[in-house]
């Protein structure tokens, strides 16, 4: 005897994909996240969107697993925290059709939560990552790519901090050297790769607060990193400033100031001592 799968159509999200959907709206805790596709490109609240966040969203929709019908009594909505003013409202648009859903409290088993279509009385217990994905703030949704540099186009790199200037140049045999004042050494390929790989792409973990933004843009105690192409033109210029347990960074081509972890900065900003002090 076959076992029938529990799959109520009213909460079947498999028909909503990144390609055929046009808007996704998430409302909760006084915050509204608006994802909109314009010209084939998705954006979030008018910002560039993180590709991994977008992927997580549609995978969360696709992989949602209905477990059981928890209630058909609308008077129980408050018990399940699934009233619109208590839960998370999810609106999905495909073509001219908009469907609204409400996500309620978490269930007793890890990864489960309650869900209903807004115009339905049926409250379901479901399992999946969707509630966690929708619980993030705007910062999580935004693209945090500071810059993406193709190593093949770079022929020189300059690191300029308040104390020193270090220049890296590539010769006709594609060998790199580091120069600072009268000091000159051959730059090992492994060390060069650490620099270039960290910038292809360079991704932040967060955005700077307004006061941090001003500190970097003031130029005080800032380290500059300049990448030039073979024709001498500046391909990318980055500004860095140490701030507590992280670094602030800004590309000259944009106004946004990002936060970068110490680990990534150690790969990028080569110190004078690392290059020129004898082991």
Q: Is the dihedral of CA 66, 82, 43, 235 positive or negative?
A: negative
The rounded average pLDDT for each run of 10 residues, N- to C-terminus, in the chain (279 residues) is 75 94 94 94 96 97 96 94 94 94 96 96 97 96 93 91 91 91 90 90 92 86 92 90 92 91 89 79
Residues 128, 62 contacting (CB under 8 angstroms):
no
Tell me what pLDDT residue 204 has. 95
The predicted model scores a pTM of 0.86
Q: Which pair of structure tokens corresponds to residue 53?
A: 């966040």
Q: Are strands 234-243 and 246-251 parallel, antiparallel or unpaired?
A: antiparallel
Residues 153, 155, 161, 163: what is their CA dihedral angle, to the nearest 10 degrees?
A: 180
CA distances in angstroms from 165 to 157, 161, 225, 226, 260, listed in the order given? 11, 7, 10, 11, 22
Tell me what pLDDT residue 3 has. 57
Q: Rounded to an integer, what distance in angstroms lies between the CA atom of residue 163 and that of residue 264? A: 22
Q: Rounded to an integer, what distance in angstroms lies between the CA atom of residue 199 and that of residue 189? A: 16
């Amino acid at each position: 005897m076959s076992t029938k799968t529990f799959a109520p159509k009213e909460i079947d999200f498999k028909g909503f994909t990144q390609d055929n959907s046009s808007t996704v709206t998430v409302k909760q805790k006084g915050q509204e996240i608006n994802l909109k596709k314009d010209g084939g490109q998705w954006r979030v609240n008018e910002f560039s969107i993180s590709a991994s966040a977008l992927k997580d969203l549609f995978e969360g929709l696709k992989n949602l697993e209905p477990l059981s019908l928890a209630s058909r009594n609308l008077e129980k909505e408050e018990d399940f925290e699934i009233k619109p003013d208590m839960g998370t409202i999810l609106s999905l648009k495909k073509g001219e059709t908009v469907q609204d859903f409400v996500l309620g409290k978490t269930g007793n088993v890890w990864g489960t939560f309650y869900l209903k279509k807004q115009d339905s009385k049926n409250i379901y217990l479901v399992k999946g990552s969707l509630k966690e994905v929708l619980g993030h703030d705007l910062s999580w949704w935004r693209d945090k790519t500071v810059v993406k540099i193709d190593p093949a186009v770079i022929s020189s790199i300059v690191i300029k901090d308040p104390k020193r200037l270090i220049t890296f140049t590539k010769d006709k045999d594609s060998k790199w050297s580091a120069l600072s004042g009268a000091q000159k050494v051959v730059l090992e390929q492994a060390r060069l790769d650490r620099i270039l790989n960290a910038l292809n792409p360079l991704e932040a973990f967060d955005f700077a607060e307004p006061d941090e933004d001003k500190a970097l843009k003031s130029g005080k105690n800032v380290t500059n990193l300049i990448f030039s192409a073979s024709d001498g033109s500046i391909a990318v210029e980055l500004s860095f400033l140490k701030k507590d347990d992280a670094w602030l960074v800004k590309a000259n081509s944009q106004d946004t100031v990002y936060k970068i972890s110490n680990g990534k900065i150690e790969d990028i900003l080569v110190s004078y001592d690392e290059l020129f002090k004898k082991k």
